[in-house]
Structure 1
């Protein structure tokens, strides 16, 4: 078993990964965004759950409103951007299958599984 207390401080933080799935938390400041037209995970799907705040997701050109309780699936290879349109931080919990990032938050090349500890 592995356990983490989510603090949702600032930015993006990988929490842990096991058996081909990775958990990470992301906080986007009011008026800021993450991603953009060239942002895509070529080797992983991203499940994004909004814990708090509001915003908009632009995925493959389609816009979806985000609010606490929203669950969004961004499929492999889909270009995407997440924007905070609210007055408070947009806090999200993200799952990647397979893992998409290193512990330092750098994106892994497609098809590169994490190294076992």
Structure 2
């Protein structure tokens, strides 16, 4: 068993748990912040993104997307994606990667 609490995440991106098959992480973007200068893809990992609070806008492959609290987005392996926070409050997401995408304990 590996128990973690999402409140323990202190960085804008932080891996919480890693096993052979899955990985959990938190991502928090302040108003106006972006995930990066360009879209990136996880070549081998699917990503499930759950919006816990705030809003995100971005692109997933050729499509544009707007996310709000409670939305769940599946990003398939190899799909370029990029997000920004257009809102006035922090955008907080809980993410699951399968298989793991990042080194255990990575902080961004």
TM-score, L = length of structure 2: 0.89
Match of 2:76 in 1: 75
List runs of 5+ in structure 1 lacking aligned partners: 107-117
- CA shift for structure 1 position 92: 0.2
Structure 2 distance, partners of 1:39, 1:105, is 18
SS of residue paired to 2:73: strand
Q: Which has the larger radius of gyration?
A: 1
2:16 matches 1:2: no
- CA shift for structure 1 position 30: 0.5
What number of residue pairs does the alignment pair up? 106
TM-score, L = length of structure 1: 0.83
CA RMSD of aligned residues (A): 1.7
2:93 matches 1:92: yes
Matched ranges for 1:7-46 at <5 A: 7=7, 8-35=9-36, 37-46=38-47
SS of residue paired to 1:34: coil
Structure 2 distance, partners of 1:61, 1:83, is 16
- CA shift for structure 1 position 47: 0.5
List runs of 5+ in structure 2 lacking aligned partners: none
Preserved CA contact (<8 Å) 2:57 2:67: yes
Match of 1:113 in 2: none
Misfit runs of 4+, over 2 Å:
35-38, 103-106
